Amino acid sequence: MTQIEEVSLDQYKHLVSERALTGETMLLNMGPQHPSTHGVLRLLLELDGEIVVNCIPDIGFLHTGVEKNMEAKTYQKAEVMTDRLDYMNTMGNNLSYVMAVEKLIDVDVPARAQALRVILVELQRIASHLVWLGTSGLDLAAMSMFLYCFREREQILDIFELVSGQRMMTTYIRPGGVWRDVPVEFEKAVRDFIKVFPKRIDEYETLLTKNPLFIDRMVDIGYLSKETALSYGVTGPTLRASGVNWDLRKARPYMGYEQYDFNVPVLTEGDTYARYLVRIQELRESLKIVEQALNKLPLGPVRSENRKFVPPPRSEIGVSMESLIHHFKLWTEGFPAPKASIYSAVESPRGELAVFLEGDGGPKPLRVHMRTPSFDNLGVVPEIVKGYLVADLVAILASVDIVLGDIDR
C-alpha cells in the first residue's frame, strides 16, 4: 500500500516568495481536475488576495511513455503512438513522424499524396483551432461558442472518418504516402465545408471579436514579450502574436506548401486578445490553403513505388510473388533504417512540432523524441501570469492553447 504523504512547503521553498513561508500569502491548488486547465494539469498558485504571485505547474498526469513504447516497435507500427500525443492534431502528428521517417530512409512522396496531406493537415488545424475557440469561449462564459465550434468540428471529423475510417486516431498518413486513395465523396464533403465555413467564422467574430465583455477579459492580459517568448522556446500562433514572423510552412516549406498562396498573420501586441485574433485569422488562411490544394489536386499514385520501404497495394498481392514477399517482410520484420539521426519539424496548430529520430541500422528506432509545442508554451505561463488575477489566469491559459497529451507524452 502506498501511503499518502502530506505535502510540505519544503519541496516548493525555492519556488515561492518569502511571504509564503511566513503565511502572508496563500498557496492554493488549481487542478488536476479543474475545467479550465483543459486536461489534467495541476497548478500550484501562490496568491496574495486574488492576485497571482507565483504559479507552479505540475505536469505528468498523462505521461504514458510514448517515446519508450515507440522504441520497441518497428517504424511503421510506432506511428499509431503519435496519434495519441496531441489528440487535437492527429493528422499533424502523423505527418511530422512520417516526414522524419521518410527523410531518414530517403523515400519520395508522390504529388497527389502530398496534396492530400496538406488538405487533411489544414482541416485538422481548423478543427484544433475550433476546439480551442470553443473551450476558451467556455472558460470566459461564452457558452454558445462551444456548441457552434463543435458543430463545425464534427463536419471535419466526418471527413476524416470518410478517408480513414476513424474520427480521431486516423493514422492515415503513412511513410511513403497515405494509407489509400480518398473515396469519391471526399471532394464534395470538403467543398461543402469550404462553402459553409467562411460564414461561420463571421458568426464567431460577431459573437466575440467586438464583444465588450470579451474584450474586457482579453485586452492587456497576459503580456508576453518577444524576448521572453523566444527564450522560453514558444512557437506557433502564441509567438506570432508577440510579433515574430516564424511559420515553418513559409520559412521551410514542406509537402509543397510553397505552391499555395496564404498569409501568416502576425500581431505585435503580445496579449491574450492578440493571440485570439491570430488564431481567428489562421482559420481563414487554412481554409484558403485547403481550397487551393483541392482545386489543383493532381491525379496519380498515392504511395511511393519504392517496395523496399512501402508495402505494395493489396490488389497486387494476389498476382505477384514479389509483392507478397515485400508485404510479408515489411509487416513482420519492417525495414532497416540507417544508423543516423534526423530532426524534422512541421508547423502544428500549436507551434513547432518536431520529431528527433535516431536509427541504429535495424528495423526499430534507437530513439524517438517528440518535440511538442505545448510543453514549451506551458513553460512560459508562470512567467506571464504574475501580477494578474486568478480569473485572468484562466484566460491566459486558454490563450496559449495547450493540450496535455502533447505535454506529458
Residue 302 DSSP symbol = S
The residue written with cell numbers 512560459 in the block is 380
CA distances to 220, 267, 284 from 273, rounded to whole Å, are 8, 10, 17
**Shortest reach from residue 366's CB to another protein, in Å:** 7
Taking CB under 8 A as the binding criterion, the range among 34-42, 186-194, 246-254, 262-270 that sits at the site for another protein is 246-254
Residue 146 region, left (φ>0) first, then alpha (ψ -120 to 50), else beta? Answer: alpha
- The reply on whether position 258 binds another protein by CB under 8 A is no
CA angle 380, 123, 135 (to 5 degrees): 45
Whether the CB-CB separation of 323 and 99 falls below 8 Å is answered with no
Please give the helix or strand (H or E) that residue 51 lies within, else none. strand 51-58
- The reply on whether position 32 binds another protein by CB under 8 A is no
**Closer to another protein at the Cβ: 313 or 336?**
336
- The reply on whether position 313 binds another protein by CB under 8 A is no
- The reply on whether position 386 binds another protein by CB under 8 A is no
User: What is the sign of the dihedral through the CA atoms of 168, 172, 173 and 175?
Assistant: positive
**Closer to another protein at the Cβ: 33 or 225?**
225
- What's the chain's Rg over C-alpha atoms? 23
- The reply on whether position 380 binds another protein by CB under 8 A is yes
Q: Give the integer Cα–Cα distance in Å for 249 and 258.
A: 8
Among 352, 392, 401, 406, binds another protein (CB under 8 A): 352
**Closer to another protein at the Cβ: 191 or 339?**
339
262 three-class SS: coil
- The reply on whether position 65 binds another protein by CB under 8 A is yes
Helices (DSSP H) in 140-236: which residue ranges? 143-164, 185-208, 212-218, 226-231
Grid cell for residue 324: 507478397
**Closer to another protein at the Cβ: 8 or 295?**
8
- The reply on whether position 306 binds another protein by CB under 8 A is no
CB neighbourhood size of 277 (10 A): 19
**Which residue in 237, 232, 229, 235 sits closest to 352, CA to CA?**
235
**Closer to another protein at the Cβ: 232 or 273?**
232
**Closer to another protein at the Cβ: 326 or 371?**
371
**Which residue in 349, 322, 325 sits closest to 92, CA to CA?**
349
**Shortest reach from residue 93's CB to another protein, in Å:** 16
The residue written with cell numbers 498558485 in the block is 45
Taking CB under 8 A as the binding criterion, the range among 158-166, 194-202, 267-275, 362-370 that sits at the site for another protein is 362-370
Taking CB under 8 A as the binding criterion, the range among 152-160, 207-215, 308-316, 368-376 that sits at the site for another protein is 368-376
- The reply on whether position 343 binds another protein by CB under 8 A is yes
Taking CB under 8 A as the binding criterion, the range among 55-63, 112-120, 146-154, 289-297 that sits at the site for another protein is 55-63
Q: Which residues contact 51 (CB under 8 A, 6 or more apart)?
A: 387, 388, 389
**Closer to another protein at the Cβ: 168 or 366?**
366
Footprint of another protein on residues 134-163 (CB under 8 A)? none
- The reply on whether position 14 binds another protein by CB under 8 A is yes
**Closer to another protein at the Cβ: 43 or 218?**
43
Among 174, 289, 371, 406, binds another protein (CB under 8 A): 371
Grid cell for residue 27: 498557496
Whether the CB-CB separation of 73 and 81 falls below 8 Å is answered with yes
Whether the CB-CB separation of 323 and 342 falls below 8 Å is answered with no
Among 103, 200, 288, 329, binds another protein (CB under 8 A): 103
Footprint of another protein on residues 172-231 (CB under 8 A)? 228, 230-231
**Which residues sit at the interface with another protein, rule CB under 8 A?**
1-2, 5, 11, 14-15, 59-60, 63, 65, 67-69, 71-72, 103-104, 106, 228, 230-233, 235, 244, 246, 251-252, 340-343, 345, 352, 354, 356, 358, 366-367, 369, 371, 375-376, 379-380, 383, 408-409
